[in-house]
Structure 1
Amino acid sequence: MRVTKRTNIAIRVLMHCAANHGRLVTKSEIAQRCNASENHLAQVINQLAQLGYLHTRRGRNGGLELGRPADQIRVGDVFRALEAPVPLAECFADVDNTCPLTDACRLRVALTDAANAFYATLDPITLDALVCDNAPLIDILAPGTGCRGASATGPTQHVLAAQ
């Protein structure tokens, strides 16, 4: 399975916002820190805002921030929301499927199982677990802030540390 560029950038945007918790960040700031074009970022930010992962504010003092606490954003949910419209293989496409094997092919079942396992692996991981106490990441995304990537709510889940 290959993660789309859109999802990759979306996770970077969310990590950047989590690392800079408590302040609005700008699209140009994210573009610089995350090595992404502002045009592509605009599309991703719009989609994340529509999904409720971001709050955006327009205007001179505008910017964006997380739409919910980092410990309530599950990486699997983000991936599912952004990757689901992209068919895993031709036989998963409703419109452009020209494969003559679709009705008899067992690979489709195996690919479905593999995709479900992929998402199940990401489901317990929160945005907070990616950012909190990750000093090297904070040095890249929020240098000089002294931020440790703390979430806005209670104790942090360190799901990744247990893996």
Structure 2
Amino acid sequence: MRLTTRTNLAMRTLMYCAVNKGRIVRKQEVADACNASENHLAQVIHLLAQRGFLKTVRGRSGGLTLGRAADDIRVGEVFRSFEACLPFAECFSAEENSCPLSAACALKGVLTGALAAFYAALDKVTVAELVNGNSQLHALLKAA
């Protein structure tokens, strides 16, 4: 299993905002700290804001900040926002499934259980837990 770049950037952005709590950060700051394209990051920020994870402020002194407290943002919820629209395997998509084994294959059931366990583990973790007490991360992400 491999996370999409968008999910990875979403988590980096949320952690950056959590480390810089109480401050409106600029997209360019996040892009620089997270080694990301500003254009790609803009798409991620847009979806995070739509889902209420971020609050964006337009204008000259604009930027972004967490849309709710870091301890109210569960990692599993963020991952589902970005990953759930992508079928894990071909057989998970009713429209694109051309696997000749689908009718008899038990692997889909096993994968469904594994994905449920994966998301259940992520649901136990908040963004706050990822950043609080993590001095190394703070050193990397704290805006000057």
Q: Which has the higher helix share?
A: 2
Cα drift, residue 94 of structure 1: 2.4
Taking the aligned partners of 1:114 and 1:72, their CA distance within structure 2 comes to: 25
RMSD of Structure 2 on Structure 1 (CA): 0.9
2-structure distance, mates of 1:97, 1:108: 12
Report the equivalent of 2:137: 137
Residue 104 (str. 1) matches residue 96 (str. 2): no
Letter of the 2:61 partner, please give it: N
- Match of 2:101, SS? coil
Alignment-mate amino acid for residue 39 of structure 2: N
Partner Cα separation in structure 2 for residue 71 and residue 40 of structure 1: 26
Aligned sequence identity (%):
58
What amino acid maps onto 1:97 in structure 2? Answer: N
Is 1:71 the counterpart of 2:71? The answer is yes
| C-alpha contact 2:20 2:143 (8 A) present in aligned 1 | no
Distance in 1 (CA, whole Å) between partners of 2:107 and 2:96 is 18
TM-score (norm 1): 0.86
Q: CA deviation at 1:85?
A: 0.4
- TM-score scaled by length of structure 2: 0.97
Long gaps (5+) in structure 1 = 145-163
Alpha-carbon offset, residue 95 of structure 1: 1.6
Instruction: State the aligned residue count.
Output: 144
Asked if 1:46 corresponds to 2:46, the answer is: yes
Ranges in structure 2 where 5+ consecutive residues have no aligned partner: none
Structure-2 change in CA distance of 1:143 and 1:26 (3 Å): closer
What is the CA distance between 1:143 and its match in structure 2? 5.1
Report the Cα distance in structure 1 between the residues aligned to 2:20 and 2:35, rounded to whole angstroms.
Answer: 17
